[in-house]
Amino acid sequence: MTAMSIARRLKISADLLCLVAFAAVVLAFWGDCIFGDQVPVAGVYQQQFAPYNTDGASPLERQWDSLLWDGVAQFYPWRELVHRSMVKHGELPLWNPHQFCGAPFVGNGQSGLFYPPHWLLAWFETGRAMGLLNALHYFLAGLFTFLLIRTIGAGWVGALLGAVVYSFGGFMVTWTHLPSLISTAAWLPAGLLGVELAFRGRPLRGMLLLALALGMSLLAGHFQIAAYVWLVSLGSGAAHLVYRFAMRRRPGDTHPSPVGPAVALVAAVMLGAGLGAAQLLPSLELSGMSPRGGDRVSPEGYEFHRARALLPIELMTTVDPDFIGSPVRKNYPVWRISYSEHCAYIGVAGAVGVFLALLLGYRRPAVWLYALIGALALWTAMGGLTSYVYYFWIPKVGLAGGFSRLLSVFTLCAAVLAGLGVDALGKRTACSPTSCPPCARAWPLMLVALALTQALPWAYQFNPRTPAGQVYRPTELTRHLTDLANRGRVLEITEPEKWTLFDLPEALLPPNSATVYGYCSVNGYDSLLPTTYRRFADRVQQGIASPAANGNMILISRAFEVPICRYYVSSTPLLGEDELHGAERFRLVYSSAEGYIYEDRTARPYAAWRPDTEARAESAYDWESVQARRLGANRVRLEYIAAETGQCLLSEGYFPGWIASVSGQLQKPKLADETFMQLSLPYGDHRVDLVYRPASVEAGEFFSLLSLMAMIAVAVAARVSRRNCPESRT
């Protein structure tokens, strides 16, 4: 019984039945994370770190992979911060007080604070929410790919194959543990679908969907992949316009005017940019004030990326993802680049479908369009001539990451071609019932089955799960650190040179553990941090505070000459002055097999006051303590009584956007010691409320709401117009 006959019996469309079946596959794939206690992170890596390994960690079951590690080291702590802030304080954490002495959180696009699906974190614990988000984006990627192929004109079988090839293809599967990438990539087929609708007699629907895809790709947070969504969608629109203008020049041509679709494209760009402004503007602000803001293209940078481009032999991963090797089987050659960067998998069924599209469907303009886009993406990923244009001519995009991430575009184009190819095969067999045996008519469905049976076991095996109780499980040491949360900042000592890229590092606690456990660290791991703090960390370290293998980490391992850090944590006893630069300053407050905690007796309080006109941290041994209380991620309250005016220095990283209300009088904190915040306080009994609310966020929220309201107004107006004029097409 075919899907069509089942659909007739149930009186539903075959398309709906296919999408329900696809949703069931996705739910089954992620069911242990949604309905069980599994968390979609590589907790096996975390268990190798101290203090988790002191009771005998199990052997590392798979090869070390720095990108899989990022899922548990970066994204789980970030999602936990959002969950905790929304549940406990009912707000989005624009600021992260737990790393780098406090740093902007909203400025890193991968926080995804304004991306609506991430608000699931308000209702579900972090691990379950991450499973739900993965399932949602696998489904969205498949849904939009299915609708794109159907809109082009293929049948439901081809559309279903395309949905499977893209959602369970190499890019989506191997980048799942960096969820910002797959969240953004899920909107790529939506953008192309919007373009197709705009040029197929539905300009308003196309404009709204394209604007939604462009805006959501920015809100989802990975700007390199968002750039692909914008470039490919608008490039497809430009190709359609050129084709439409060319056809209109032919005598007797009946193609509609291209003016309507062109207006729809322009409107979509404006609305999409406005919709994404809530995330885009804070990220641009932080990027301009971070070390990455000074990055420039260079011949050396181009050669660096080109040396890590996809090799011709790696094209075999299109049909066998483990052709070169597998980190699961511990035989992947790590000497070049991570497995995820070079996995071009589309499956045997996808490759057959692409071949059929080029062989049987070449008369379709869509086949040529998606073959061209896919070929350009693949050539660039391999470091071809187009990579030069990509790196030097597209501002900032070429600097964002490796060329091989264009495999996201290649995988989608291959999925579309596979769907069109299977559709062409189905039509060929249907038109020749006498020459084709009955089994031949089942070939398209057999290809869908082949795609699922090849992709699902590999995808499940590649993406590790960890029991929720083992992800950042509390230990005696971490419980002590949590108890110290309000007493001062903490330095976890890990030598930067011991952090390696291709082997398991020797480290004490993952770099963003403070965000999970709730204490405040001077170290951290983030791709964007203020330049002021990086310079400060380098001064403290008396060198480069980042490991050579990963410039996004700050791993200070020396004692502070500026006594802002109260607690030092080490996996081994610190006995000599070489380690702590003056043992009389420090006393041991905790020791066990898990580690040691030392207190700096000279550490200055978090908020300190003195009656001087200038506050400098270097001379901060005689500061008076000011009572400070943190009211969520974005707020700090100070209470003090002073007989005269003075300066208050906070051990909180400075960044524009903080506003202090001193008994109702507003004041902007000043920069002190090139790193921290300083306030001028009047004499008397006062309460000071510090709030982080940058102007970039307020402006971004305004433009996002304005664009959303405009899109809703257009949609409502179009619906009313259709009711009044049923024959109108929008």
For residue 573 the two structure tokens come to: 């006893």
With cut-offs at 50, 70 and 90, classify the pLDDT of residue 621. very low
- Whether residue 302 lies inside any domain: the answer is yes
pLDDT at 9: 57
| Alpha-carbon gap, residue 94 to 97, rounded angstroms | 10
Residues 429 and 502 placed together within one structural domain of the fold: no
Specify the CATH number for the domain of residue 657: 2.60.40
Q: Where a domain ends, among 583, 600, 617?
A: 600
Give 542 or 216, the one with higher predicted confidence.
216
Of 226-240, 241-255, 702-716, where does mean pLDDT reach its minimum?
241-255
Residue 390 has pLDDT above 70, yes or no: yes
Question: Within 484-552, where are the H helices?
Answer: 513-517, 531-541
The answer to whether residues 338 and 410 belong to one domain is yes
**Quick check: helix, strand or coil at residue 648?**
strand
Considering the domain architecture, whether residues 634 and 683 belong to the same structural domain is answered as: yes
Query: What number is the average pLDDT over the span 506-513?
Result: 88
Question: What's the half-sphere exposure (Cβ side, CA atoms, 13 Å) at 161?
Answer: 37
DSSP H/E element including 598: strand 595-600
Same domain? For 498 and 387 the reply is no
Residue 95 lies in a domain: no
* pLDDT for residue 409 is more than 90: yes
User: Which range is least confidently modeled, 6-20, 220-234, 521-535?
Assistant: 6-20
Between 204 and 60, residue with greater pLDDT: 204
Residue 350's domain spans which residues?
3-50+112-467
- 281 in a domain, yes or no? yes
Q: What is the mean pLDDT of the chain?
A: 87
* Spatial distance between the Cα atoms of 465 and 462, rounded to a whole number of angstroms: 10
pLDDT 10s digits, 663-674: 788 999 998 888
Residue 682 has pLDDT above 90, yes or no: no
169 in Cβ contact with 345 (< 8 Å):
yes
The yes-or-no verdict on residue 618 having pLDDT over 50 is no
pLDDT score, position 245: 84
Dihedrals φ, ψ of 222, to 5°? -105, 105
Q: Are residues 596 and 611 in the same domain?
A: no
Together in a domain, 539 and 436: no
Q: Do 146 and 252 reside in the same domain of the chain? A: yes
Confidence of residue 336 (pLDDT cuts 50, 70, 90): low
Instruction: Identify whether the C-beta of residue 476 lies closer than 8 Å to the C-beta of residue 620.
Output: no
Q: What are phi and psi of 696, to 5 degrees?
A: -65, -35
Q: Quick one: pLDDT band at residue 620, thresholds 50, 70, 90?
A: very low
- Give the pLDDT mean for 209-215: 97
Given a cut of 90, whether residue 232 has pLDDT beyond it is: yes
d(CA 564, CA 650): 9
Residue 93 lies in a domain: no
Distance CA 686, CA 662 (A): 7
The better pLDDT of the pair 643, 619 is held by 643
Q: What is the pLDDT, as a whole number, of residue 435?
A: 55
The pLDDT confidence band at residue 48, using thresholds 50, 70 and 90, is: confident
d(C-alpha 178, C-alpha 168), whole Å:
15
Going by C-alpha positions, the residue among 172, 633, 246 that lies closest to residue 407 is 172
- List, in order, residues 6 or more apart from 176 with CB less than 8 Å away: 40, 71, 134, 182, 463
What DSSP state is assigned to residue 50? B
Contact criterion met (CB below 8 Å) for 71 and 503? no
How confident is the model at residue 147, as a pLDDT?
96
Q: Is the dihedral of CA 629, 631, 633, 639 positive or negative?
A: negative
Whether 718 maps to a domain, the answer reads no
Please tell me whether residues 623 and 482 are part of one structural domain.
no
Listed residues 550, 574, 600: the one ending a domain: 600
Does the pLDDT value for residue 202 go beyond 70?
yes
- What is residue 479's predicted lDDT score, i.e. its pLDDT? 92
How many CB atoms are closer than 10 A to CB 671? 13
The DSSP bridge pattern shows strands 489-492 and 565-570 to be parallel
Instruction: Specify the range with the lowest mean pLDDT, choosing from 13-17, 162-166, 572-576.
Output: 572-576
pTM, whole model, 2 decimals? 0.93
pLDDT of the residue at 577: 45
According to the model, what pLDDT value does residue 730 have? 58
For residues 82 and 121, the answer to whether their CB atoms sit within 8 Å is yes
Q: Which of 272-286, 411-425, 494-508, 585-599 comes out lowest in average pLDDT?
A: 494-508
Question: What was the pLDDT predicted at 612?
Answer: 62
Query: Both 453 and 411 in a single domain?
Result: yes
Q: Which helix (H) or strand (E) holds 165?
A: helix 156-167
**Residues 571, 505 contacting (CB under 8 angstroms):** no
Pair 297, 276: CB distance under 8 Å: no
* Same domain assignment for residues 673 and 589: no
> What confidence tier does 440 reach under pLDDT thresholds 50, 70, 90?
low
- For residues 187-198, give the mean pLDDT: 96
Does residue 584 have a pLDDT over 80? no
pLDDT interval class at 415 (50, 70, 90): very high
What is the phi/psi pair of residue 566, to 5°?
-90, -35
For 70-111, the pLDDT digits (tens) are: 999 999 999 999 999 999 999 999 999 999 989 999 999 999
Residue 487: predicted pLDDT: 83
Backbone phi, psi, residue 168, to 5°: -110, 25
pLDDT bracket for residue 408 (50, 70, 90):
very high
What's the number of domains the chain is made of?
3
Q: Is the residue at 91 inside a domain?
A: no
Out of 600, 622, 653, a domain closes at 600
pLDDT range class, residue 24, cuts 50, 70, 90: very high
Quick one: 535 and 616 in the same domain?
Answer: no
- 414: nearest Cα among 350, 356, 344, 352: 350
304: left (phi over 0), alpha (psi -120 to 50) or beta: alpha
Q: Are 174 and 328 in contact (CB under 8 A)?
A: no
Element (H, E) at 367: helix 365-381
Give residue 438's pLDDT band: very low, low, confident or very high (50, 70, 90).
low
- With 0-12 / 13-18 / 19 or more C-beta atoms within 10 angstroms meaning exposed / middle / buried, residue 552 is middle
Decide if 321 is inside a domain. yes
Contact 629, 637 (CB under 8 A): yes
Contacts 24+ apart (CB under 8 A), 600-604: 600/559, 600/560, 600/563, 600/565, 600/566, 600/567, 600/568, 602/563, 603/488, 603/563, 603/564, 603/565, 603/566, 604/563, 604/564, 604/649, 604/651
pLDDT of 468 strictly over 50: yes
| For the chain, percent of residues with pLDDT exceeding 70 | 91
645 and 538 assigned to the same domain: no
Q: Do the domain assignments include residue 727? A: no
- Taking every pair of Cα atoms in the chain, the longest distance, rounded to a whole number of angstroms, is 101
